[in-house]
Amino acid sequence: MSELSAPAIRRRNGEISTALQGASLPPILKKLYANRGIQHPDELVLTLSQLLPPHSLGGIQGAAELLADAIEGEGRVLIVGDFDADGATSCAMAVSVLRQMGLEEVAYLVPNRFEFGYGLTPEIVELAAVQTPDLIVTVDNGISSIEGVAAARQLGISILITDHHLPGSELPQADVIVNPNQPGCLFPSKSLAGVGVMFYVLSALRATLRQRNWFVERAIEPPNLGDALDLVALGTVADVVPLDRNNRILVAAGLARIRSGRARPGIEALFEVAGRDHRVATASDLGFIVGPRINAAGRLDDMSIGIECLLAESSIAARERAQTLHQLNRERRDIEQSMQQDAMVQLEALDLSADALPFAMTLYDSTWHQGVIGILASRIRERTHRPTVVFAQAGDGWLKGSGRSIPGIHLRDILDQVATQHPGLLSKFGGHAMAAGLSLAEEQLDDFQQALNDVVATTLNHQSPQRVQDSDGVLQAAELTLTVAEQVSDAGPWGQQFPEPIFDGAFSVKRHRIVGEKHLKLSLEIEGTELEAIAFNIDVAGWLGEPLQRIGALYRLGINDYRGERSPQLVIDSFWAL
């Protein structure tokens, strides 16, 4: 998108350590890695042998014993998932790997977000009880399910919680809890996604079953958990958890499987329906191409469509389900566009200057779709640079809200402060630093808006948050080559808190054209070198009159692969007139 004026640019300036300087790396990668806090080449080794061992993950041995007992005792196990890509990948992995380990009675249940909401609620336990499970295993949820766990225990159902969300002041009384963020857990990485937690649990379970001689006695081949890494990579990237070294190892291994043609049929089919080549997959593709298609099922329909796509054993079945997900994603985009137009009407009634905006944005429309409000919150957050909560009708006088935050504002903690200062205002809430969900009575919306604004204002010392965009600096024309673009692409995986490199520069505009109604293709010149560039989803009106002759831009150095011809291409994040 274009900017009215140049943004505040903060250039990363990490010091290249002696060890990194001595590494056999291209100079640009040394700079990029130093900018992301890498001190030693050993930190760049992303082999599976470097994964953190599971023993320090609190509760993991108890979880392995509980599951092993269920398998040996021919118990009925029910996986209760979440309705996003992390939940779907966790669920599909748990079901498929437990079946490979010899568990015959394993099924899954994902709450419909429109009927039951999030997590293991008493209502979900009642629904689950129809299947008479001996053990319920939550994936990507459960750490806040106090009442649901109590209801299950009253029915004599054992409970294993696997989750990664931040816990509240009270933990549910489950048989076992595995969550790196629970009090007392010594696991060094607190950034595992739900699918990463379940991957570790299944790894510990396999070791326990080996110790019990289960596989030998039953003549079962122990499953290769490497086969599940495509799911781990997808869920980890799609859930936008920080890519610390441990998560980068998991994502890199999963991407390697996908690129080599060893991904499950469902993931390959999702690339196919999106018109992408899985053989050159990147973390960005998982986050912006595959993940949204899985998420569309949970947003508009039933996440079981996404899970069944990931569980499909044949390409034909996978392609059929992937096509359904692709269509749902198109519908989601149409709904989102309509909601954005409604939101812009609300925003235009405000003074959009930074000093006049409230410290937190709260928007609501009775017609908005509950499954898409999180995306809308992200769009408004990007436009206003304010933590934003968007609400939709949940029925019976209740509203469901989805929030997105900005750096420096831990949204889940902010909601906790609101709840503490205003008892009874929030029905329930939960989430992360950058994203959270909540419920409240419709009649209390104005009170919430004021309370949220007050808490955020206090946190910011009543100083308007300033939009600052990070850059890895200026590239010279000699560096804007296909070789450098490939080096940068291969140096990932890039993602949350290990961001894809972005550069800034000044260019002359030689030619331009509008493509796809709202994208801008440019030919730019720097130091006598001409380069192709593209800016997605811009306001094209200005380019229909007097186009800009010179621009400043923040951009990523990408690769355009057109009919087998690869060339460098600047992917512009924002630009402004010079």
Residue 141's pLDDT is what?
A: 94
Domain match, 364 and 430 both = yes
**Residue 202 within any structural domain of the chain:** yes
pLDDT tens per residue across span 300-340: 888 999 999 999 999 999 999 999 999 999 999 999 999 99
Mean pLDDT of the chain: 93
The residue whose two tokens read 């949940």 is 394
**Residue 343 within any structural domain of the chain:** no
> How sure is the predictor about 565, in pLDDT bands with cuts at 50, 70 and 90?
confident
* Amino acid symbol at 234: L
pLDDT tens per residue across span 349-404: 876 665 678 999 999 999 999 999 999 999 999 888 999 999 999 999 999 999 99
Please list, in sequence order, all residues whose beta carbon lies within 8 angstroms of the beta carbon of residue 53, skipping any fewer than 6 positions away. Answer: none
**Residue 23 within any structural domain of the chain:** no
Q: Is the pLDDT of residue 4 over 60?
A: no
Residue 1's pLDDT is what?
A: 44
Would you state the structure tokens that stand for residue 192, as one six-digit string? Answer: 């595992």
Residue 365's pLDDT is what?
A: 94
Q: Is the pLDDT of residue 257 over 90?
A: yes
**Residue 44 within any structural domain of the chain:** no
The CATH number assigned to the domain holding 383 equals 3.10.310.30
- Residue 4, SS3? coil
**Residue 193 within any structural domain of the chain:** yes
| Boundaries of domain holding 443 | 350-466
Domain match, 172 and 317 both = yes
Domain match, 91 and 228 both = yes
The CATH number assigned to the domain holding 556 equals 2.40.50.460
Which of 413, 443, 466 is the last residue in one of the domains? 466
Domain match, 101 and 241 both = yes
The CATH number assigned to the domain holding 125 equals 3.90.1640.30
Beta-strand ranges (E) seen in 20-132 are 77-80, 106-109
Cα(424)–Cα(428) distance, integer angstroms? 9
Domain match, 390 and 538 both = no
Q: What is the pTM of this model?
A: 0.91
Cα(518)–Cα(317) distance, integer angstroms? 35
Which of 466, 491, 516 is the last residue in one of the domains? 466
Residue 117's pLDDT is what?
A: 67
pLDDT tens per residue across span 422-466: 999 998 888 888 889 999 999 999 999 999 999 999 999 999 888
Q: Is the pLDDT of residue 3 over 80?
A: no
Residue (of 222, 297, 300, 221) closest to 266 by Cα position: 297
Which of 418, 436, 466 is the last residue in one of the domains? 466
Give the chain's domain count.
3
Which phi and psi (to 5°) does residue 493 adopt? -75, 140
Domain match, 402 and 446 both = yes
Domain match, 187 and 315 both = yes
**Residue 430 within any structural domain of the chain:** yes
Domain match, 82 and 222 both = yes
pLDDT tens per residue across span 72-112: 999 999 999 988 999 999 999 999 999 999 999 999 998 77
When pLDDT is averaged across residues 224-234 and rounded to a whole number, the result is 97
Cα(54)–Cα(289) distance, integer angstroms? 31
Domain match, 462 and 475 both = no
Domain match, 295 and 163 both = yes
Q: Is the pLDDT of residue 273 over 90?
A: yes
Share of the chain above pLDDT 70, in %: 97
**Residue 340 within any structural domain of the chain:** no
Helix (H) or strand (E) holding 565: strand 565-577
Domain match, 425 and 502 both = no
Would you state the structure tokens that stand for residue 322, as one six-digit string? Answer: 């992937």
DSSP code at position 327 = H
**Residue 569 within any structural domain of the chain:** yes
Which phi and psi (to 5°) does residue 434 adopt? -105, -10
* End-to-end CA gap in the chain: 16
Domain match, 458 and 485 both = no
pLDDT tens per residue across span 18-56: 999 999 999 999 999 999 999 999 999 999 999 999 999
